[in-house]
Structure 1
Amino acid sequence: MTLDVQLVGSTTQMAVVTLRPGQTLYCEAGKFLFSSGDVVMETKLTAPGGGEGGGLGGLLRGAAQAGKRVLAGESFAFQHFHTPGGDGLLGLAGVLPGEMRHLELDGSTTWFAEKDAFVAAEAGVHFDIAFSGVGQGLMGGEGFILERFTGRGSLLIAGAGDFIDINPADYGGTLRVDTGCVVAWDDRITYGVETVGRLNRQGIVSAVLGGEGLTLATLRGDGRVILQSVTIEAFAKALVKNSAKPDQQGLGALGGLFGGSRG
């Protein structure tokens, strides 16, 4: 039975899920918004079927999996949801203003996502981490640990700003993207990081003044790529800039000139 998911909103979306008896959904702690009274919520160290059982062995397995998630930037524990009776209502969202995607895994396709993209998944979807390589991760500036999803069922991911879905094969087979704009891609895509231009004076000036840094992500293949319009770094900088007081932005003198003195 397919999970009933409605994505509500435009650029600040939430997922409204109708849970039916027999269905279990798990999410990262902090992504839960609301639920009806008949939805049961439990906090566990592992995803459904993750091997967390009783005794010391189960506890250690759960702690090991939780440690891997922390490396990927996720929470230490999962929240599990199910309904024992009739249909239940559940609301979930990402942590930044932006879109969401409802991906349906069929058991044959693996999805990769940047850290913090995961919101929730059905019990049949397995969460794990993947390594993009230390050198590649450091070059890309986004870290070398990715989220990996396999199995069957619904997967919900989120990002910042608006999303666009692109197949590199429709545009010569390769996309070059700001590393902070990459949200997710399927296993038909090869992800890499490349240097922008040459490491000479002109290359460094172009990279610094162009605002893109020295590296870009490359995505090659015939598959699905999801990109976001806002990078987390740019969003954080905008918050800092616009939360500063006028005199901290260099406007103190103008403010005093036109505002007059107050005593």
Structure 2
Amino acid sequence: MTLQQQIVGTAMQMTVCTLQPGQTAYCEAGKFLFKTSNVTMETRLSGPAGGRPGGVQPGGGAAGGMSGMLRQAMGTAMQAGQRALAGESLAFQYFSASGGEGTVGFAGVLPGEMRALELDGSRAWFAEKDAFVAAESTVHFGIAFQGGRTGRSGGEGFILEKFTGHGTVIIAGAGNFIDLNPADFGGRIEVDTGCIVAFEEGIEYGVQRIGGLDRQGLMNAVFGGEGLSLATLEGNGRVILQSMTIEGLANALKKAQGGDKQGPTGGLFSTHQG
């Protein structure tokens, strides 16, 4: 059952979802906005599994039930541990409608766009940390730890959110979105590492360093925080980019609040006037 939803707003969008009786959606803690009174809300550590809210599996007698409960508890602990290691929220909030249709609203944490992705089970989607907003309980949320040339620790690409299954998943980013396919540009595009929001399974994602630390590279690193590496996206599949990086937004807010008092000649390259 596809999640009936409408994305509203401009500068900072939100999504308003209509839940049918028996339909469940879940979100990361901190993404919930409002709900109607006939929508129940429950907080759990476990993510959805097998299309069953909370990952509850049927037991087979007393021994089978105890074994199933133990496996479920261990699975929940592993999921929570993975999310903690990735810096994600430990808990999910689940929403279910009773006595007719119910309405629930969600939003991201940054000013920007939202996007609803429809999963048909054939391809997974990967998203950068904190992109996830909400999904149907038939969509599985996981953490993908990428290694080798496929990312760098402490920044975009090393730890990714992974979505599999069937149904609707809603993601959010900063600024405006643009959809690209590397296959339309010779099979490869190079992107600022902070601009990637999500991409389909089948896209090969790597990070490459560009040039040495010359004067211009040092200036870029000090003043812009970027310029020393690029993300590479190769293959045939959908890629979603955002127009604003989190670092850029943070720097802009800092300057607006008067936090940057040094000016263009301050900091590392400033000279003392006696």
TM-score (ref. length: structure 1):
0.86
Show the 5 A alignment for 1:165-176: 165-176=179-190
Give the C-alpha shift of residue 71 in structure 1: 2.4
Deviation string, structure 1 residues 82-133 (Cα, Å, up to 9, x no partner): 0121000100010111100000000111100110001111111111111221
Over 6 Å off, 4+ runs:
none
Q: Do 1:52 and 1:59's aligned partners in 2 also have CA atoms closer than 8 Å?
A: no
- The secondary structure found in structure 2 opposite 1:249 is coil
Counterpart mapping for 1:105-144 below 5 A:
105-133=119-147, 136-138=150-152, 141-142=155-156, 144=158
- The residue number in structure 2 matching 1:9 is 9
Counterpart mapping for 1:32-181 below 5 A: 32-49=32-49, 51=55, 58-133=72-147, 136-138=150-152, 141-142=155-156, 144-181=158-195
Distance 1:146 1:167 in 2: 19
Q: Is the Cα contact below 8 Å between 1:21 and 1:83 reproduced in 2?
A: yes
Query: Which residue in 2 is equivalent to 1:204?
Result: 217
Aligned residues: 248
Aligned equivalent of 1:259 = none
Supply the RMSD in Å over aligned alpha carbons.
Answer: 2.4
Q: What's the offset of the Cα at 1:222?
A: 1.2
- Partner residue of 2:247? 233
Percent identical among aligned pairs is 59
When residues 135 and 107 of structure 1 are mapped into structure 2, their CA distance, relative to the original with a 3 A threshold, is closer
Unpaired runs of 5+ residues, structure 2, are: 58-65, 264-274
CA shift, 1:135, in A, is 6.1
CA distance in 1, matches of 2:121, 2:262: 56
Q: Assess if the C-alpha contact under 8 Å between 1:47 and 1:78 holds in 2.
A: yes
TM-score under structure 2 normalisation? 0.83
Residue of structure 2 equivalent to 1:258: none
- Structure 1: how far apart are the matches of 2:255 and 2:213? 31
- Answer yes or no: is the 8 Å Cα contact 1:140–1:216 preserved in 2: no
Deviation of 1:60 (Å): 3.7
